[in-house]
Structure 1
Amino acid sequence: MQQSETQEMDVFRANGLPWLTCRAADSDVVISSRIRLARNFRKVPFPNRADFEQLAAVLQLADGVMPVVEQATRQHLARFALDHLTKLQRDVLIDKRLITNNLAKNPQDRAVYISDDASISLLVNEEDHLRIACRTPGLALEQAYETASAIDDAFESRLDIAFDEKMGYLTSCPTNLGTGLRASVVLHLPGLVFTRNITNIVNISQQLGLTLRGLYSDDKEVYGNLFRVSNQLTLGFSEQEIIDNLKSAVKEITANERRARKALALYMKEHLEDDIWRAYGTLKYARLLTEKEVL
């Protein structure tokens, strides 16, 4: 599978990601959903313990299954070998969240397969032999899981996946044991941040077995009021239970965010408008913007 110039231009130069810019239900709060499955091949060391020969063998196994994956998803997936990409190209894929820093840091015998609409990215030899990531606009976890499950079935039909009857899917990190599923949703929560109710949401999320973290942040604040909420545990729960729990929490957070926005518009209208116009002025007239200002 070769990288074509057209595919490369689409991935690296596209102005936006179709799954991110598409309007969907609740998209005023819920930006996108993602399902990620972690899988490993039996009798092969995890990537952090494997030598280059073993990593190359894993990559060859993945290459052999890709025609079946494309048939199952009805999508073409372009193959990108990380050690054939420039640092800038790897940085673009990181910024678009199609690969991880960990994969880019050790590019030899690592690869990513990306669908034409960038809704699917398959990472080979990251923390696990295979990371299946599927994204959808808005709150559509079931749709993302359906695609991820089809890809998983394609691999399991051709390869021996590491699985234990008691522990479930075996993974490099113990927190991924069991289903190997990490479900996450990106939320835009300016209302809860401005009304200072975000801390309560974070605490409640932890009680529900979820993690709510800033998508872009430093030690002091979250930039752009963008947050990702995801499940903490995968062992002892079914895939449907994980998805249902996350969906229920997201709907409650969305309802609280909308109430906070109404309160801001009613009681802090002038302050809110002042912040908006200051941001607009900076965007229109500044010659240099920091990452924080952009977000």
Structure 2
Amino acid sequence: MKDLLPGWLHGPAPEGDVVVSSRIRLARNLQGYSFPHQADERALEAVITKVENALKKTGFTLKRLDGMAQGERLLLVEQYLISPDLLKNPSHRGVMLNQDQTVAIMLNEEDHIRIQSILPGLALHEAWAAANHIDDVLEAEVDYAFAEKVGYLTTCPTNVGTGLRASVMLHLPALHMVDQVKKVLSVLPHVGFSVRGIYGEGTESTGNLYQISNQVTLGLSEDEIIGKIISVTKQVIDQERSAREALLAKESRLQLEDRVYRAYGVLSEARLISSEEAFRLWDNVLLGVNLGLIPEVSAEQINELFFLIRPAILQHLVGKDLAPHERDYYRAEIIRKHLKTKRG
């Protein structure tokens, strides 16, 4: 089970009651090669070879998607180590991972190279330091597509410049309960930020999780982009915590306790549970744990459950392909066992 959980999940998590994770992504392309959607097989293979050789002394391991079964590819998506877009054409695509899986380098997705550093909690500066270090290592060995007037050249014009996307994943259940989440998040696109679902662009929110990221990479330095994201994130954190305090007010506390314990009761005792129901209950239980209303389990256990209930990870745990009704059975069994495990 531990081997199937993403390595980046564990460790210090500043503001971890609201911020699930921080991610830095750098988009880069190699000079002299067409962008991936126009490159031929020879060029795509050259990109993989050049990056692998540049990082051969850093401890990174190459995983080729065309050498994997579909279940293994989906596992990487569920661990947030690659994007769903990379699966659309796995031929001549891959990902390079460091040992603790805090840095992943997608090869031949939308751009030749996408360096991703992900850490728990609000840790954008630390994630930037890790991504920037690998970027420096690569830039010393390969020639990036770069123009003095605009910066790094990318497939999508919105990534031109620094090529940096800084994002945070936030858990906002209380704002949802007081019917304020849309109001709070709807302001952000007007001030330069994108709001997306758990798998990024074009995806919906699950379990009241939302990604906030910068819209523009041109005309701002990396430090300015990160500073702006941290500033707006802290404002949303304050609003979520204020909503939680309101829910804990004397007249609402009992209703909130009933809500989170009902969710915990079903989650910990159910014999059949779909992924949709599991995520809905997970959302309520995590809120209860972070508010100190459910002392029986830790936030770490509940955060781990977010991954263990997913189809590809679940099937790897069981060791075979599962029909939907079988997944509902094994998902409930794994949840029960996981919640009964005592943490020291």
TM-score computed with the length of structure 2 as normaliser: 0.76
Structure 1 range deviating more: 242-251 or 191-200: 191-200
Q: CA deviation at 1:265?
A: 1.0
Assess if the C-alpha contact under 8 Å between 2:197 and 2:210 holds in 1.
yes
**What is the letter of the counterpart of residue 248 of structure 1?**
S
Assess if the C-alpha contact under 8 Å between 2:197 and 2:203 holds in 1.
no
Q: In the TM superposition, what whole-angstrom CA distance separates every residue of 1:123-164 from its partner, at most 9, and x where no partner exists?
A: 111110000000122111111111111111111111110011
Q: In the TM superposition, what whole-angstrom CA distance separates every residue of 1:62-114 from its partner, at most 9, and x where no partner exists?
A: 1110135x1xxxxx222111111111100100111101122122111111111
DSSP 3-state at the match of 1:211: strand
Aligned runs of 1:1-295 on 2, under 5 Å?
Answer: 14-68=3-57, 70=58, 76-215=59-198, 222-266=205-249, 267-295=251-279
**What is the letter of the counterpart of residue 211 of structure 1?**
S
**What is the letter of the counterpart of residue 45 of structure 2?**
A
Identity of aligned residues (%): 43
Relative distance call for 1:131 and 1:220 in structure 2 (3 A) is closer
Q: In the TM superposition, what whole-angstrom CA distance separates every residue of 1:228-268 from its partner, at most 9, and x where no partner exists?
A: 11101111111111000000011111111111101001142
C-alpha separation in 1, matches of 2:2 and 2:231: 36
Structure 2, unpaired ranges of 5+: 280-344
**What is the letter of the counterpart of residue 283 of structure 1?**
L
Assess if the C-alpha contact under 8 Å between 1:65 and 1:154 holds in 2.
yes
Assess if the C-alpha contact under 8 Å between 1:34 and 1:183 holds in 2.
yes
Q: CA deviation at 1:214?
A: 3.0
Relative distance call for 1:81 and 1:13 in structure 2 (3 A) is farther
Relative distance call for 1:18 and 1:83 in structure 2 (3 A) is closer
C-alpha separation in 1, matches of 2:247 and 2:268: 25
Q: Please, what is the CA RMSD of the aligned residues?
A: 2.0
Relative distance call for 1:221 and 1:80 in structure 2 (3 A) is closer
- Give the count of matched residue pairs: 277
Q: CA deviation at 1:207?
A: 2.5
Q: CA deviation at 1:122?
A: 0.5
C-alpha separation in 1, matches of 2:47 and 2:143: 12
C-alpha separation in 2, matches of 1:187 and 1:193: 12
C-alpha separation in 2, matches of 1:52 and 1:287: 48
C-alpha separation in 2, matches of 1:167 and 1:231: 18
Assess if the C-alpha contact under 8 Å between 1:40 and 1:128 holds in 2.
yes
**What is the letter of the counterpart of residue 63 of structure 1?**
E
C-alpha separation in 2, matches of 1:155 and 1:240: 20
**What is the letter of the counterpart of residue 32 of structure 2?**
K
Q: Which runs of 4+ in 1 moved over 3 A?
A: 219-222
Assess if the C-alpha contact under 8 Å between 1:119 and 1:136 holds in 2.
yes
Q: CA deviation at 1:221?
A: 7.3
C-alpha separation in 1, matches of 2:70 and 2:135: 30
Relative distance call for 1:20 and 1:220 in structure 2 (3 A) is closer
C-alpha separation in 2, matches of 1:221 and 1:265: 28
Give the corresponding residue for 1:8: none
Q: CA deviation at 1:15?
A: 4.3
C-alpha separation in 1, matches of 2:29 and 2:122: 28
TM-score computed with the length of structure 1 as normaliser: 0.88
C-alpha separation in 2, matches of 1:87 and 1:30: 31
C-alpha separation in 2, matches of 1:13 and 1:137: 16
Assess if the C-alpha contact under 8 Å between 1:202 and 1:211 holds in 2.
no
Assess if the C-alpha contact under 8 Å between 1:216 and 1:226 holds in 2.
no
DSSP 3-state at the match of 2:187: helix
Assess if the C-alpha contact under 8 Å between 2:196 and 2:204 holds in 1.
no
C-alpha separation in 2, matches of 1:281 and 1:128: 46
Structure 1, unpaired ranges of 5+: 1-11, 71-75
C-alpha separation in 1, matches of 2:199 and 2:41: 33
DSSP 3-state at the match of 2:207: helix
